[in-house]
């Protein structure tokens, strides 16, 4: 399906998951809005790659935790593109306990606020100020990206990855998804993609995964029904489905975790019974 003429806003596109999502939409001809903030090396890689491919994109430095900067971003989008078709709310920050340790440590003094402001508040600010640009283009969609931390929190084999603040923020995303779906209906669909352990996010390619022992890694993968972590490209496919193809989905949460949430409970043989 060609998306020529469509405009998609994707924060976090300098990092692997956001980059895969941006590639997916860009390859279909969509114009990309890519707010960036930190990770300068990744931003440089993204810029070089997308320029070489020839994508139509706007990359702008924006701290999406700041309402002032989100308002300025919305104004820049209106000036260049006039409207937005798709908002992919791919922004979060979570301190992995296996890396950061306790909130009581000095280097974590602002960690709780960082997790809530980036994972939850920034999504809210983006929808609040981008939705008016989406009302002009019926048929668009919002995809809120969340985590199974909302379900399992700091428990089980994956506890090393999910801090309390990050888990709480992801739990609240469900409320925003359902509220925004009601608010935006019927012209704009709003859905949530809840991710499990994805490479570069909470799997291989992260400091947290490297810090685990081989036994800990084995215990985690043993709890995933598919016995592996997911890839950024698989996430991009699911995001594209929810945004473009799932035309009768709204207010829904699609859990993409390889079966991690149900995987911890094995199915035993049926007992012989006593009759």
Q: Residue 68's domain is classified under what CATH number?
A: 3.40.50.720
Strands of 17-100 (E only): list them: 31-36, 57-61, 86-89
> Residues in the chain with pLDDT < 50?
none
Does residue 164 belong to any structural domain of this protein?
yes
- 230-261 pLDDT, tens digit per residue, is 999 999 999 999 999 999 999 999 999 999 99
- Between CA 128 and CA 67, with CA 186 as vertex, the angle to 5 degrees is 5
Which domain covers residue 240, as residue numbers? 7-259
Does residue 268 belong to any structural domain of this protein?
no
Does residue 270 belong to any structural domain of this protein?
no
Does residue 205 belong to any structural domain of this protein?
yes
Does residue 271 belong to any structural domain of this protein?
no
Integer angstrom CA distances of residue 197 from 66, 106, 184:
29, 28, 30
- Between CA 197 and CA 171, with CA 148 as vertex, the angle to 5 degrees is 150
Number of domains in the chain: 1
Does residue 188 belong to any structural domain of this protein?
yes
Helix (H, G, I), strand (E, B) or coil at 236: helix
Measured on CA atoms in the order 200, 201, 207, 212, is the torsion positive or negative?
negative
Tokens standing for residue 229 = 């972590």
Does residue 44 belong to any structural domain of this protein?
yes
Does residue 266 belong to any structural domain of this protein?
no
Residue 95 has a pLDDT of 80
- 89-125 pLDDT, tens digit per residue, is 999 988 888 889 889 899 988 999 999 999 999 999 9
Residue 164 has a pLDDT of 94
Structure letter (DSSP) for residue 230? B
Integer angstrom CA distances of residue 94 from 160, 165, 213:
11, 8, 21
| pTM for this entry | 0.94
Residue 159 has a pLDDT of 87
Structure letter (DSSP) for residue 189? E
């Amino acid at each position: 399906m060609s998306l020529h003429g469509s405009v998609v806003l994707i924060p976090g596109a300098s990092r692997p998951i956001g980059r895969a999502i941006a590639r997916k939409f860009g390859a279909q001809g969509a114009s990309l809005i890519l707010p960036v903030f930190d990770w300068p090396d990744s931003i440089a890689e993204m810029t070089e790659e997308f320029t070489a491919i020839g994508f139509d994109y706007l990359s702008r430095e924006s701290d999406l935790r700041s309402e002032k900067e989100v308002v300025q971003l919305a104004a820049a989008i209106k000036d260049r593109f006039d409207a937005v078709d798709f908002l992919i709310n791919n922004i979060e920050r979570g301190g992995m306990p296996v890396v950061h340790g306790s909130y009581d440590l000095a280097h974590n003094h602002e960690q709780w606020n960082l997790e809530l402001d980036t994972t939850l508040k920034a999504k809210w600010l983006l929808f609040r100020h981008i939705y008016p640009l989406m009302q002009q283009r019926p048929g668009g969609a919002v995809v809120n990206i969340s985590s199974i931390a909302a379900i399992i929190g700091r428990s089980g084999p994956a506890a090393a990855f999910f801090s309390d603040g990050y888990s709480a923020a992801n739990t609240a995303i469900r409320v925003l998804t359902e509220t925004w779906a009601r608010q935006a209906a019927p012209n704009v669909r709003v859905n949530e993609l809840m991710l499990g352990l994805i490479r570069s996010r909470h799997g291989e390619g992260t400091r947290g995964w490297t810090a685990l022992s081989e036994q800990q890694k084995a215990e985690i993968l043993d709890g995933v029904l598919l016995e592996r972590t997911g890839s950024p490209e698989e996430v991009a496919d699911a995001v594209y489905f929810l945004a473009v193809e799932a035309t009768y989905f709204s207010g829904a949460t699609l859990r993409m975790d390889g079966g991690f949430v149900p995987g911890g409970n094995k199915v035993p043989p049926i007992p012989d019974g006593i009759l």
